């Protein structure tokens, strides 16, 4: 199935999604990688607010290449999500609804996804030019000193994504290869 979603989203919006479905996501998406996640944890530890409204939000694990003059964004494919595993459950428990990246997540993230009715979506790894084509606006909202890791607010239109972890415990990285091998046998 293909779904069209616009952020911010609710658990009800995400409930129908199943591992293997595709999503065309529109609206606001925030970028954050390792260093930005670390700083977000420091803010939370200090009892301070996050730099964006977390409820129903989508976070994209990406560090784009610098944009050429007159262009919105450079190349912008996903980075490996597993490096954010240490931080994601806390953000999901605070209301973050969508994680976008590539690669496997740990058990704690999978449980937090189910517990909160969230999803983990994959962007196409290594397809930075293709992913960039759906980005209409970009603004750095904080931590400019982090360079490509600064937190950016993106406006995306029909950003093409695939459901990896759904809210019901499905995991495409397990079910996809298993289905292929079963069909081949």
Task: Tell which positions 123-182 bind other proteins, by CB under 8 A.
Answer: 124-130, 132-133, 147-148, 160, 162, 172-173, 175-181
User: Is residue 109 within the footprint of other proteins (CB under 8 A)?
Assistant: no
Residues that bind other proteins (rule: CB under 8 A) add up to a total of: 43
Query: Between 53 and 147, whose beta carbon lies closer to other proteins?
Result: 147
Query: Between 18 and 175, whose beta carbon lies closer to other proteins?
Result: 175
Give the residue, chosen from 44, 104, 114, 142, that forms a contact with other proteins under the rule CB under 8 A: 104
Give the residue, chosen from 29, 54, 98, 122, that forms a contact with other proteins under the rule CB under 8 A: 122
Output the CA torsion sign for 80, 105, 50, 137. Answer: positive
DSSP β-bridge partners for residue 122: 101, 162
74 three-state secondary structure:
coil
Catalytic residue among 33, 37, 39, 110: 37
Any alpha helices (H) in the chain, and if so which ranges?
11-14, 34-45, 88-93, 107-116, 128-132, 172-184
User: Is residue 86 within the footprint of other proteins (CB under 8 A)?
Assistant: no
Phi, psi of 90 (to 5 degrees): -65, -40
Give the Cα separation of 2 and 4 in Å (integer).
Answer: 7
Nearest distance in Å: CB 132, other proteins: 6
CA distances from 147 to 127, 143, 170 (A): 21, 8, 35
Annotated catalytic, 168?
no
**Residue 151 and residue 140 in contact, taking contact as beta carbons nearer than 8 Å:** yes
Give the Cα separation of 36 and 116 in Å (integer).
Answer: 22
Tell me, residue by residue from 29 to 48, as one string, x for binding to other proteins by CB under 8 A and - for no binding. Answer: --------------------
Nearest distance in Å: CB 124, other proteins: 6
- Residues forming contacts to other proteins in the complex (CB under 8 A) are 20, 62-68, 74-77, 79-80, 82, 102-104, 122, 124-130, 132-133, 147-148, 160, 162, 172-173, 175-181, 183-184
Q: Which residues are catalytic?
A: 37
């Amino acid at each position: 199935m293909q779904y069209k979603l616009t952020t911010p989203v609710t658990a009800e919006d995400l409930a129908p999604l199943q591992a293997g479905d595709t999503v065309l996501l529109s609206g606001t998406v925030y970028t954050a990688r390792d260093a930005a996640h670390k700083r977000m944890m420091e803010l939370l530890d200090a009892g301070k607010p996050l730099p964006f409204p977390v409820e129903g939000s989508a976070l994209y694990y990406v560090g784009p290449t610098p944009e050429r003059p007159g262009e919105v964004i450079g190349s912008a494919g996903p980075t490996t999500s597993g490096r954010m595993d240490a931080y994601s459950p806390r953000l999901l428990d605070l209301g973050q609804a969508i994680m976008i990246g590539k690669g496997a997540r740990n058990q704690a993230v999978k449980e937090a996804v189910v517990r909160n009715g969230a999803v983990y979506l994959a962007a196409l790894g290594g397809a930075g030019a293709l992913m960039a084509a759906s980005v209409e606006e970009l603004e750095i909202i904080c931590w400019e000193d982090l360079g490509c890791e600064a937190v950016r607010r993106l406006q995306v239109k029909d950003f093409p994504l695939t459901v990896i972890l759904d809210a019901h415990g499905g995991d495409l990285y397990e079910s996809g290869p298993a289905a292929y091998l079963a069909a081949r046998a």
